[in-house]
C-alpha cells in the first residue's frame, strides 16, 4: 500500500505558508478573545507562571522573552535577577498585539520553521 506524503515535497517556505494560512483564523480568534477580555482583576499583577499561561506560552519561552526585555515587568528586588517578577495583563496584551503578525509572517516566509 502506497501512502501519499505530499507535505514532504514542500520547501520549508511553502510549508510555512500553508501552515500560516491554516492557523491564521484560529490564532486571530484566540488573540481577539485575549485582547478583548476584560475582568475585575485587570489591575492585579500576574507572576511569571500565570503570565506565561495567560499568553499560552511555555514558561521557558516566556522566560526567554522576558530576559530579552520584550515585556515590561516589575521586580520585587531589581538587584536580584531571580526575584519574583510581576506582569500586567495590559502589557501582555500589548506584546501579543505587537507580535502576532510577526509570528504569522515568520511561518509564511519560513523563518519560524526549524529544519
Over 50: is that where the pLDDT of 112 sits? Answer: no
Question: Quick one: pLDDT band at residue 7, thresholds 50, 70, 90?
Answer: low
Count Cβ atoms below 10 Å from residue 3 Cβ, excluding itself. 5
Does the predicted model carry a pTM greater than 0.75?
A: no
Q: Rounded to whole angstroms, how far apart are CA atoms 13 and 28? A: 21
SS (H, E, C) 6-70: HHHHCCHHHHHHHHHHHHHHHHHHHHHHHHHCCCCCCCCCECHHHHHHHCCCCHHHHHHHHHCCC
Structural domains in the chain, sorted by start: 11-109 (1.10.1660)
Span 37-89, pLDDT tens digits: 655 456 789 999 999 999 888 898 889 889 888 899 999 898 998 899 999 99
Task: Return the pLDDT at 27.
Answer: 75
Amino acid at each position: 500500500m502506497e501512502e501519499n506524503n505530499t507535505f514532504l515535497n514542500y520547501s520549508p517556505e511553502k510549508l510555512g505558508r500553508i501552515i500560516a494560512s491554516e492557523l491564521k483564523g484560529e490564532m486571530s480568534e484566540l488573540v481577539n478573545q485575549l485582547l478583548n477580555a476584560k475582568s475585575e482583576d485587570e489591575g492585579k499583577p500576574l507572576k511569571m507562571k500565570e503570565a506565561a499561561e495567560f499568553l499560552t506560552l511555555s514558561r521557558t519561552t516566556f522566560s526567554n522573552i522576558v530576559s530579552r526585555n520584550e515585556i515590561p515587568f516589575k521586580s520585587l528586588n531589581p538587584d536580584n535577577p531571580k526575584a519574583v517578577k510581576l506582569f500586567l495583563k495590559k502589557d501582555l496584551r500589548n506584546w501579543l498585539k505587537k507580535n502576532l503578525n510577526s509570528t504569522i509572517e515568520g511561518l509564511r516566509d519560513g523563518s519560524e520553521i526549524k529544519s
